[in-house]
Structure 1
Amino acid sequence: MTQSAPDPTGRASLDGARGLAAIRIGIGLAQGVLLYLLYRSAAQAEGLSWPATQPPLFAALVLAALFTPVMLLAGVGRMGWKALSLWGAVAAMILALLGWHDAAQQARDYFHPPYLRFPVVAFAAAALFIAHHLITPAIQSHRWIADFDDYFDTAWKAGVQLALSLGFTGAFWLLLFLGAALFRVIGLSFLADLIDEKWFSIPVSCLVFAVAVQLTDVRGGLIRGVRTVALMLLSWLLLVITVLVAGFLAALPFTGLDGLWKTGSATALVLSAAAALIVLINTAYQDGREDNLPPAALRIAVRVAAVLLTPLILIAIWGLSLRIGQHGLTPDRIIASACALVGLLYAVGYGWAALSPLWRKTAWMKPLERTNILAAILTVLVILALFSPVADPARLSVNDQMARLKRGVVSAARFDYVFLRYDAGKAGRAALAELAKSSDAEIARHAKAAQASTSRYDLAETTTPPRTPTIAAWPANQPLPAAFVASAPAGDPRYDCSEQNDCLAVQRDLNGDGREEILLASSYNIALFAQGDDDRWVHQGDYQVAHCPGPDAARRDLREALKRPDLEAVATAWPDLGVGGQTGRFQPKDNCPPKPSGVNP
């Protein structure tokens, strides 16, 4: 069988459709069989078998088996066999190395197949998609850097094709489940039993996906039509996000950034808005050819959105720098910093594309094309660095946190031993072992306690220092006891009370003993505190408040409920039971009173 030459437009030749179909079906079946064998080695009732007994090897095989065949399905018909085989081998090797490293640097507690963390899987898929659609147009044009419209056509067509193929696979399984339900109605369960068998479901899923890729590929014109419609619809959403981001930035001088920092996820929010702008700008720009120029309103929106990227990225960098300065590096902050770096390149490039016509004549947003190519290359390099030993976030975070401890930036009592024990993999465990040998008795004591712990939550309560809560009193003219608001340990409901998480406290004598208890309410919980013989305020338990239908059904904030004048202690309808020296607490089946007959909810 001879290979048909790749179509310069990137569409599989119809003359070679049968050959391409056979190759893609073979790739799909091979992937399905390989994934099933990997699943079988990790899911045997008698225990794990090779290669699941070797976590780094298993993770490497899983990551390579998940994504390399998908890349080969996309490359068939677009590359020559030598180029495709070489690129496939390189991609599989890189994926395997990323999977190997991810499993090798993790600690073994709660370590189960496939031994891969979600960020590695997600970012590896993104890097492979970007790299493949940088390489394919370059090979087709026999140049190191292809024309931008070739990159655009290849990548966006593949994106639509991937979405349709996944949708086709999902629809196939919905029909299978429907058929199984129909047969079960008449007492036949063979199809339902077959679906439950992994030797069937895994290979069939891969096969159906491969068939979907082939079906969408031989009708490239239809795919381009779907892509054109999707891009047109998405491009008009650029107007919406541009107005929203502009309004947000315009309001900041009047509101300040304090509200944004209080969310605890300011950087993620701002970077997400920037990512939305970048994607929608490209849906409007498309391949940049004059016959694809959008309407004037969209051209203006693209220029404005391109300029708005810079303040968004600067706000994200500012927020990250504040958090890192206060609390040091963590893996999440390192990944966010990498995203901000890529975003900064987009912001500079897009801002230049939008503003350069002010001092020189150039085609509309033309510099955007160079920015997209450079950002794509940078994204791949950053992902490879982050999930390899080059810039492993866990290792960098551990080094930074240890340096902060040695410099005295953070005290031994406030150091995050939980991070080293449970979130930093082998690098964290090694650092914890080093701290356990420290000459500082307090550091060594905390580190040994962390090494011996079996629960991150128990460890957090014992190693996290107490702090002074911020609690409002009601009525405001009735101050709370000084001992109640002086200090709260981790795990105490008062510990989370701060300006970001408002709490309200009310003093009441609930049990009629002449001494007042304190009810502490957040938006979702009411905790009861009573004063012991040593004058310490002790958390007794929590009240579960049902949200029943009625005129007050919308009132969900329990802090407002404590302010009501009808707040009172109510006797339970049924007593608790004493059983052999233990007390059985009655839990009502329904906390809401029955509705009168004839009354609609």
Structure 2
Amino acid sequence: MTEAIAVHAPAAHADWPLRPWALAVLLGVAGLAVHLLSDWNAADMPPWRAALAAAFVFGPLALAFTVERIRWQEPLVFAGLVALVMAGIAWRVTSAGDRYADEPFWVAAGLVAITLALPLFQAGFHRLRWRTAYDQTHFHVWTDAISGAGALAFTGVSWLLAVLLAALFSAIDIDVVENVVDEAWFGWIFSGAAFGAALGVLRNQLKIIGTLQSVVMLVFSIIAVPLAAALAIFLLAVLASGIAVLWNATESPTPLLLSVAVAVAGFVLVNAVIRNADHEVSANRVLRWAALVLALAIFPLALLAAVSTGTRVAEYGLSPERLWGIVAVAVAVAYGMAYFIAPIRGRLTGWMDRVRTANMHLAVATCGLAFVLALPLFDFGAISARNQIARLESGRVAVDDFDFDALRWEFGEAGREGLARLAKGSDAEVAELAAGALAQEARTYRDVERGTERNERLANLRMQFEDETLRRHVENHVRASPWRCDNPCVALDAGAGDNGRRRVALVEDGRIAWEEFDLAGPADQPAVTAAREAAIRAEFDAPNQRAGSQVEIREWTGRRVYIDGQPAGDPFE
């Protein structure tokens, strides 16, 4: 096993006694630079600071994983490109403000791109192109993961020792160590130096790590057997139950998450069995058949995720998150299809080698796709906003079911521009709801409520006044507040307050919530602070309120609410 791994070790790699010291200094200085460039106390970091901080995080890390004593020019260029890409993404994210809705996904796409590019570069893809040896790429994928995880664990242990030493010195009234450890600059330098030193030691032991890689893949290949058996039973059960059971499963997002997770696990375990070449694959027939079953099962699982995603898009339309989900599912389907076709093309002959070839091609394609998506070429918020508005205008979604708040808060500037157009449209109801959503200063509820549930709440509402403007304000407030009127509720007009706004008592379950409405403004929900809402909902002895209860405001030395002749709540005057 050790000899096989030695063949996969990169030819340019050699032990470098100064590597731990060099990487400790490199990443320690990078940590200090990040500390000096970052202003963590500021509400918004200036884009130039964020860009330089990202460059000093990812550029030195890329150099640490790739530099060799006799080969440093190309790694330096590669690290510079990585720093440039991540700096550009950081600049774009911090300068985006609220104009976009999917900034975290840009960062995720950049990380995926550089993570895939790293082993490809280490294997020499930039020079060899498609002649790059698969075993070299696969070797670097595993050794990078193992050495990175090991260096991270060493950094954590180092911090534990530093904290213990600081506490030990503090016990004898020597606080200088604890004071230094508490400094932000020390944390960045110490973390970078510890990670670099550990990474340098581990990178000098790639042959040993390669042996550990074989052990890990052996353990994973054993796990492949029960997973393959379980998936075979699952697929047979689906075939026996009919396609309807599969279609019903796509109504919930849970199958999407489960199928993607199992597909990823299957991908990892298949590659743990097929290794770098046919001569490394175990002769155990059970393991070989388990790998074949998993390879064939990835595609149906990815297809289930695709159908689930398509079902939700058809029902709710596009959103930035769903568009990114479509991209992820498309990649999963591509891998699944490649793994499914590989055994069929040659009638099981040489299918493992075709899977390895597919891995190389798909890794390059995924890297390129992630890089393109990280660039400012597509605005998923604008695409989603156009789709949602088109669904509304075409009648595919009813006005009561349309989530105007989502356009205000989840689609960036494109969503707000779409709301502004709807607010100026000819449809009075749509215009009023769009204007109300556009005027919101804070979103109080994020989940999308089904139209039937909203209609049930509105049916519970009884307004005991005739003012049409006020009725419209109260109705829109209840429509936009999913916590209102789950049970029979009554709205009472308490007249104008000192600030000129109309006061309304919303009575539900014997409890009173006071709201104020500016009838001259848009019919949006009033601003209610969390403290006031908590006070409104405070527990007290409340009368039993039914659907037909008589709810009224009575005169006394002051005024208060009565339910069936019983006082409810505290007097408000």
Q: CA deviation at 1:434?
A: 3.0
Name 1:276's counterpart in structure 2.
Answer: 265
Kindly tell me: are residues 133 and 79 of structure 1, through their superposed partners in 2, closer, same or farther at Cα, counting changes over 3 Å? farther
Q: Which segment drifts farther, 278-287 or 417-426? A: 417-426
- Are 1:299 and 2:299 an aligned pair? no
SS at match of 2:545: strand
SS at match of 1:410: coil
Aligned 1:276-355 pairs, distance under 5 A: 276-293=265-282, 295-355=284-344
2:479 and 2:423 map into 1 onto residues whose CA distance is: 24
Once the two structures are superposed, what CA deviation does each residue of 1:45-85 show, in whole Å capped at 9, x if it has no partner?
Answer: xx56xxx5534x34433433332221111110188333223
Name 1:71's counterpart in structure 2.
Answer: 62
Give me the CA root mean square deviation.
Answer: 3.7
Q: CA deviation at 1:333?
A: 1.5
1:324 and 1:274 map into 2 onto residues whose CA distance is: 21
Once the two structures are superposed, what CA deviation does each residue of 1:88-135 show, in whole Å capped at 9, x if it has no partner?
Answer: 2222222222223333444079x9xxxx95444444222211012112
2:418 and 2:406 map into 1 onto residues whose CA distance is: 11
Name 2:518's counterpart in structure 1.
Answer: none
Q: CA deviation at 1:357?
A: 3.6
Kindly tell me: are residues 461 and 371 of structure 1, through their superposed partners in 2, closer, same or farther at Cα, counting changes over 3 Å? closer
Aligned 1:551-590 pairs, distance under 5 A: none
Kindly tell me: are residues 102 and 247 of structure 1, through their superposed partners in 2, closer, same or farther at Cα, counting changes over 3 Å? farther
2:34 and 2:78 map into 1 onto residues whose CA distance is: 21
1:239 and 1:101 map into 2 onto residues whose CA distance is: 46
Q: CA deviation at 1:188?
A: 4.2
1:339 and 1:389 map into 2 onto residues whose CA distance is: 19
Name 2:362's counterpart in structure 1.
Answer: 375
1:297 and 1:180 map into 2 onto residues whose CA distance is: 54
1:438 and 1:324 map into 2 onto residues whose CA distance is: 26
Name 1:418's counterpart in structure 2.
Answer: 405
The match for 1:238 among 224, 244, 266 is: 224
Name 2:471's counterpart in structure 1.
Answer: none
Q: Which amino acid aligns with 2:372?
A: A
Name 2:46's counterpart in structure 1.
Answer: 54
2:34 and 2:486 map into 1 onto residues whose CA distance is: 45
2:106 and 2:446 map into 1 onto residues whose CA distance is: 27
The match for 1:84 among 42, 60, 75 is: 75
Q: CA deviation at 1:337?
A: 1.2
Kindly tell me: are residues 192 and 395 of structure 1, through their superposed partners in 2, closer, same or farther at Cα, counting changes over 3 Å? farther
1:372 and 1:205 map into 2 onto residues whose CA distance is: 34
Kindly tell me: are residues 100 and 213 of structure 1, through their superposed partners in 2, closer, same or farther at Cα, counting changes over 3 Å? same
SS at match of 1:166: helix
- Are 1:400 and 2:415 an aligned pair? no
Kindly tell me: are residues 16 and 164 of structure 1, through their superposed partners in 2, closer, same or farther at Cα, counting changes over 3 Å? closer
Aligned residues of 1:181 and 1:192 also touching (Cα < 8 A): yes
Aligned residues of 1:398 and 1:427 also touching (Cα < 8 A): yes
Q: CA deviation at 1:217?
A: 1.0
The match for 2:121 among 130, 135, 140 is: 135
Aligned 1:22-171 pairs, distance under 5 A: 22-39=21-38, 41-43=39-41, 53-55=45-47, 57-77=48-68, 80-107=71-98, 117-138=103-124, 142-171=128-157
Once the two structures are superposed, what CA deviation does each residue of 1:247-273 show, in whole Å capped at 9, x if it has no partner?
Answer: 332333438136633543322221111
1:281 and 1:447 map into 2 onto residues whose CA distance is: 51
2:406 and 2:307 map into 1 onto residues whose CA distance is: 24
Aligned residues of 2:62 and 2:78 also touching (Cα < 8 A): no
Number of residue-to-residue matches in the alignment: 478
Q: CA deviation at 1:468?
A: 5.6
Kindly tell me: are residues 78 and 268 of structure 1, through their superposed partners in 2, closer, same or farther at Cα, counting changes over 3 Å? farther
1:323 and 1:330 map into 2 onto residues whose CA distance is: 10
Aligned residues of 1:465 and 1:489 also touching (Cα < 8 A): no
- Are 1:365 and 2:356 an aligned pair? no
Q: Which segment drifts farther, 225-234 or 97-106? A: 97-106
Aligned residues of 1:60 and 1:95 also touching (Cα < 8 A): yes
- Are 1:440 and 2:455 an aligned pair? no
Kindly tell me: are residues 322 and 32 of structure 1, through their superposed partners in 2, closer, same or farther at Cα, counting changes over 3 Å? same
Q: Which amino acid aligns with 1:216?
A: L
1:496 and 1:247 map into 2 onto residues whose CA distance is: 44
Aligned residues of 1:127 and 1:379 also touching (Cα < 8 A): yes
Q: CA deviation at 1:368?
A: 0.5
- Are 1:9 and 2:12 an aligned pair? no
Kindly tell me: are residues 419 and 62 of structure 1, through their superposed partners in 2, closer, same or farther at Cα, counting changes over 3 Å? farther
SS at match of 1:390: coil
Aligned residues of 1:60 and 1:97 also touching (Cα < 8 A): yes
Name 2:566's counterpart in structure 1.
Answer: none
Q: Which amino acid aligns with 1:268?
A: L
Q: Which segment drifts farther, 336-345 or 178-187? A: 178-187
Name 2:185's counterpart in structure 1.
Answer: 199
Once the two structures are superposed, what CA deviation does each residue of 1:264-316 show, in whole Å capped at 9, x if it has no partner?
Answer: 33222211111111111111112024034352211101111111112111111
Once the two structures are superposed, what CA deviation does each residue of 1:150-209 show, in whole Å capped at 9, x if it has no partner?
Answer: 111111111111111111111111222233333444444433332221110012111111
Aligned residues of 1:238 and 1:302 also touching (Cα < 8 A): yes
Q: Which amino acid aligns with 2:389?
A: M
Name 2:545's counterpart in structure 1.
Answer: 530
- Are 1:256 and 2:248 an aligned pair? no
1:458 and 1:406 map into 2 onto residues whose CA distance is: 25
Name 1:591's counterpart in structure 2.
Answer: none
Q: Which amino acid aligns with 2:276?
A: D
Per the normalisation by structure 2, the TM-score is 0.74
1:461 and 1:150 map into 2 onto residues whose CA distance is: 48
The match for 1:214 among 200, 203, 206 is: 200
Q: CA deviation at 1:243?
A: 2.3
1:396 and 1:388 map into 2 onto residues whose CA distance is: 16
Aligned residues of 2:135 and 2:277 also touching (Cα < 8 A): yes
Q: Which amino acid aligns with 2:546?
A: Q
Higher helix share: 2
Name 2:464's counterpart in structure 1.
Answer: none
Aligned residues of 1:235 and 1:281 also touching (Cα < 8 A): yes
Kindly tell me: are residues 176 and 366 of structure 1, through their superposed partners in 2, closer, same or farther at Cα, counting changes over 3 Å? same
Name 1:267's counterpart in structure 2.
Answer: 256
Once the two structures are superposed, what CA deviation does each residue of 1:358-377 show, in whole Å capped at 9, x if it has no partner?
Answer: 2xx74351100111012112
SS at match of 2:27: helix
2:282 and 2:70 map into 1 onto residues whose CA distance is: 31
Once the two structures are superposed, what CA deviation does each residue of 1:321-351 show, in whole Å capped at 9, x if it has no partner?
Answer: 1111111111222122111211122112111
Kindly tell me: are residues 224 and 320 of structure 1, through their superposed partners in 2, closer, same or farther at Cα, counting changes over 3 Å? same
Structure of higher RCO (CA pairs closer than 8 Å, 6+ residues apart): 2
Aligned residues of 2:251 and 2:308 also touching (Cα < 8 A): no
Q: CA deviation at 1:10?
A: 2.9
SS at match of 1:456: coil
Name 2:514's counterpart in structure 1.
Answer: none
